[in-house]
Structure 1
Amino acid sequence: MRILHTSDWHLGRSFHREGMLAHQAVYLDHLLEVVESERVDLVVVSGDVYDRALPGVDAVLLADDALVRLAASRASVVLTSGNHDSARRLGFSSRLIDAAGVHIRTDAARCGTPVLLGDEHGPVAVYGLPYLDPTALVEPWGLPRRSHEAALGHAMTQVRADLARRPSDTRSVVLAHAFVAGAAPSDSERDISVGGVSRVPTDVFAGVDYAALGHLHGAHTLTESIRYSGSPLAYSFSEAGHRKGSWLVELDAGGLRGAHFLEAPVPRRVARLRGDLETLLADPGLADHEGSWVEATLTDTARPGRAMERLQRRFPHTLVLRFDGPAHRLGAAPAQATHARTDRDIALEFMTDMRGGPPSASETTLLTRAVDACCDDTDVDSLLGEAGG
């Protein structure tokens, strides 16, 4: 059996306010092409189909289109809910949709009930575990502690109990949405540590042939049989070095035969650039990033004027601008600390510290007018000056 493992589509997500739905549609087209070209028998989607519990209409339409096309393809589908999804909304009509070969699993009570498939070597039991919130499950499941390890451990006990009742040649696949120890998170994943310890050890998945994990956005191989596919697109600049795609997993008569990573198309790359402004604008080695989404960190001693505007002339998709020049000490020197300074003095000192030099005459006039316009009492500065003298 050939299995395509994907997760964390986050349909409807934006990237620093830039819409990504068209890019997500490109990935789903790619996924359908892989199903045919690689003769995939089963597609597993390990949670976070949507980016939020109440997805926008366009995101729902894209998901609907993808699932209809998958239902018409050669592959069966098992899809679970993640911590970003609304389990009830995603699972609506799931019992009806099962008949089309698309199996949506969002109910924690069904963790021990597999989707049963098969190939020439015998049966394959696919257990779709939705995101398991330990706070919601600690009482109904009688968990010994409120943690993700306890919740997932309880679910896997149900999985192993069901497997023990099945023929000995039954192979098993588990979908889970969790933070499993041994993998590094990125900036774009929502913290799931509230309500208990977030990390889950790999030995929780002992006894199954393949664990298809979701939640973390980087592709990770924790063991040969426990892997994260990662998200199909970069959703934060911390993912600039990620390879995006999905795992093509093969099961034979003995269980897991192997897995290899299939890279997905990248409609627009993300890049982190660092240096002084003039270097970033002139360096020919950065030409490859002129079409990328860019996070630029400037190291100039003094903050250059119109930095974002100038960067966007070369890198039109610059979305984030940071400054990491030499640290400046704001305020008066210790020897002068006892002498009162006017609001005008503070504003001018701030400009001097930030720019590495005093403001021009016109800037000084503008700052003075701005400070005076903000003062509730126009006599405050002069009174402070007299008190300090």
Structure 2
Amino acid sequence: MRTRQVFRSVGRLADGREIIYFDEAPGTGRADVADRRPLPPFSTGSQLRYDPLLDEWVALAAHRQNRTYLPPPDECPLDPSQGERLSEIPAGDYDVAVFENRFPSLAPAPDTAAADHDPALRARPSAGRCEVVCFTSDHSASFSDLTPERARTVVEAWADRTAELGARSDVAHVYPFENRGIEIGVTLQHPHGQIYAYPFVPPRIEAMRGAARKHRAATGGNLFDTVVADERRAGTRVVAQGEHWTAFVPAAARWPYEVRLFPLRRVPTLAHLDEDQRGELAGIYLDLLSAFEGLFPQPAEGTDPPTPYISAWHQAPVGADGTPDTEFALHLQLFTLRRAPGKLKYLAGSESGMAAWINDVAPEDAADRIRAALPASAARRRTESKEQR
């Protein structure tokens, strides 16, 4: 496959934050466009506090109470700047843009630990970084509306940021994700995602890493390879696959409609994907998002908005030297909390109180519905993959 070239340039916003443009053509000069807003210097008050009962860190970020909340379309801070309408993107247009979040949950901060007289509090300054990833300058689009070329540019941006952030001494895990829909808690409607570079390994990643270690000790094999191979052999819940990727509804899915997408050649992070894997990923990911869009009837006046979802990239934790845990397998978890038209899956007493999940939709039925909603391109890809095997 021909190597895909993306043109990367770095600029600064008025308060000192970094902005990175990923362009599909050279010479745009976008990083040189000045941010004309009169912003005060960037600072945060984030703090990490330790929960000894669960052996987990909790981030406190009280400054986020003042973040921008559902502005009207003509005041969206993720649109490109036009005339006197100034936004977080100084350039008048862009392909894909990434910048440091103005209201981050995680960021280097002064030591705000409590006084020694509080014996119950173990705290440390925050660290890491939070970034916003704008997928397109088109405010009214969704990721599923992107061309395969633009989706590939987003993949390149994810891989670039994974490599750079994962190399930082204050980062233990890099998490790219997208929240879509007000039901999820989205505060800006422009098509965008985020990247959290955690200074600790998040609980879910730590749990999977622990399970992988136990599996290796018990069987001598890799847990993720075993799960993918078993799901492919079962076939019942496989919804899409190609030469390099396979997507399936997990046998023990927690969410009403949930898909896991794995590369068939195990890699620890997005930065480790080769050209063929990256190229196919753009297409199969668009297929899955299109299927989620088609799971429920198109909205009419007074009915459901488009399908809300969370798209979560699970990547390997990194050591102090930036080296990823190669026992861990990169994969995507894509899920929606909508269980039926007009009905959401709420995390109630069992899920929120005990972290014990109860699913209302059988994974096999969910897989049938997702397969039926896939575009024709996905069916062709699956047929070609079967012929190649």
More relative contact order, 1 or 2 (CA 8 Å, 6+ apart): 2
Higher relative helix content: 1
TM-score calculated relative to the size of structure 2: 0.24
TM-score calculated relative to the size of structure 1: 0.24
